[in-house]
Chain A
């Protein structure tokens, strides 16, 4: 603990010795069912901790000569605004103005990276404790060093505005740090109370705002290196096609082509310009093995409750008898990420070193994959993450970095390569389609006696590098697919949730909020149906059936807040009806009321009221922005989007046919109420995606009497 470290002159390293945040362990000793179920429930409400290193003495902060403090972020910025929250947290503990702090992405060779990923709405909650502790420790190191330099005791040092002062002398942080090679070892100080923070809790404008408004080259697609050339890799159109061999003769002699690269598992080409690379790629004739001819009907048959492997993930009391229960089925389609920046990468392999610039949510995994393929030590691969032009889970898989590295090695130049939009759509890691069977029973007084959710999904977390391969067998359920799949009405005497897993012939994986979107659609549409059967107000019916544990109490508070703010009514007013829905995701409850009408036989969402309880909102404006974004993305996914399979191919392959919400589909009013049911920050980026689909469907039921049970919602 007392050992001193050498620190380079210009760089200021903050060392750990700090409490490492807890890690969600998928327990290797879990074998009995009740325990397994407990873990699954924890997975449902999990608030994941930061999984990187706080002890590793790599750079977190750097003080530059101009007194700028650089924070090397272990998490990536994909629009969620977490860089701004980090800056607020750090600036407050460092006693510096926001303008003095810059946040950059940590590269694998210069900073700490999260060993897992950026995702799961965990960035701000996960770094809340460690980042503030690091900043506070650094502040005290500067204070101690300043005391020595100024010849006073530490008590005599005042800090503020990035300057230390004592008596009539003052120094900037940069001046204090200048020339220091050994820093005093400091105990982690007590953190300031939140009430003393100047920036945390305030709606500070995003720190990347100006760069994004003036068109700065922030993204992976914008990355360049000297002498860079362009690559392209041939991808199959058919699902499950395996690369056998390629006739590259024509491509080799095309203009601009530098090299055609044939590997065991892919064929690619490198050319001087992007068009030349694409043209040559299109001239390569590949033989693919055994493409299947899957059709959409086959897929729906497979995706039916009762198929595959099953796990009871939640159980209380007895099972309902089908004969005297209400039963209703729901479906959701395959969803594409459709982020606007295509997947792309710039890789340079020189000798035994590789550099990779990439928009990725998995910086560490990308380094490992590239190192493995090249046969390099991981330390020889520097992955430099860029700003992401949208993540949404798509960039939790970025193995194209490997292909770019192989191409670069083959030509001895940096190679940039990115997907075409058709490749994006056909080779997405989709949100899996789902099917749900809901069952419910009322007692004679109109109260819920039993409620069941039976559902089937393809992989979400399974087969992902982020979930240990033993996890599916131990847990029996996919940790991603079950998100939002639990019955939150645990005041009901008998309830259960039963998960079925089907292996699909194409890759499905993480899509913002995972199972939440589809599961909440089913559960919250059905609870509305049961309220209607019971002839009760849908808000009151929900509140009656939610239990009184702390999280449930917070859920009830969001429902009440949304109902009050929206003036929720079940009467149709001026051709508009309201629908309510609520969900809990990653321990953040959210309720929404959608105000809907029908115009020209189209569903029109006018206003959405959101009540969210994320705990402490580090940046309330950006929390609201996430709510607005989730509402609009949720409207897009619930009312518009749908991938389908035709003759063994995934379709459509372009925006437009892949119908997404545009300006004209966006509600003109989104009213967000933030509650604070706990005093630390919780998940924000995904939970508001839960309720919107059911909220709209419930409003349509009020308007038309039609219970729409299939996403995307279409009027008959």
Chain B
């Protein structure tokens, strides 16, 4: 492919096609709508299917249904729609149905400012649905990475049988950058393989690595799927000897693979006493601040998180140990900073926050470094 000028939202659309996504259900909302528009055009060309549902609750339900029908599935939305999706995101988590949910964050709460960027859904991505549950959230910092992480999102969703949130923002979604996309035919995402015959198949088997294979409906493997606590066959149960091992499995299955899931990039400098930590569009401001500071002869480390959930605790802890201060920059009033504080200690953390629709500037970060 040649170099093209492309929006983040477009890159997500192409990433989905490249990852083998063949079903999209969604409801239009700024600033995510281009993803739906692109997929309504491209999916039928690839033999896939697009549907505009009556709301986001239905969209989320439809992608779960389609995945059970055997198609890799995705939806995309922004804050107000993401709130509506929470009900069935919880369902996908408990029933372990792979799916990808893109949240192009805009300023909230409520209708907020539809065209203004934000990173205000960080905690919603983790705890938006009720009850303890596993979840993965990834945050790209560029158009090209929006493409790459969309593919990663599909791969992880399948590999770990979990919903994956691609937590991007209005800036990345609407920004145009020159990108060269790779050859799609070489791109592979995880495929489930089942070895046992239908009579022995348990869709919710408590396997050692935590992830039993999922066989789609209508292939001779009949089983029950429910949002109720269930046994290994999927049947509702109230027996503690069935509930406990299952709960243990689904709530630890991501921990067993943290090294593969926790994606971060560190730009370390020998002797640095101050560290910048950021993600998504704000990581771009942090990079800029880093350049300016280093040009001035200051020593600074930068940790960029691409995986927000599960929180890359090990990496952040090691980062925090090397420096005296960790400056956490984000476009909200300090959501991920809570996690950083938990891991590196409250005293070390300096928050750089903004939640008025304007971006965090490199200058704000530089000021915090001096302070």
Q: Is B one of A's binding partners?
A: no
Q: Which residues of A contact B (CB under 8 A)?
A: none
Q: Which residues of B contact A (CB under 8 A)?
A: none
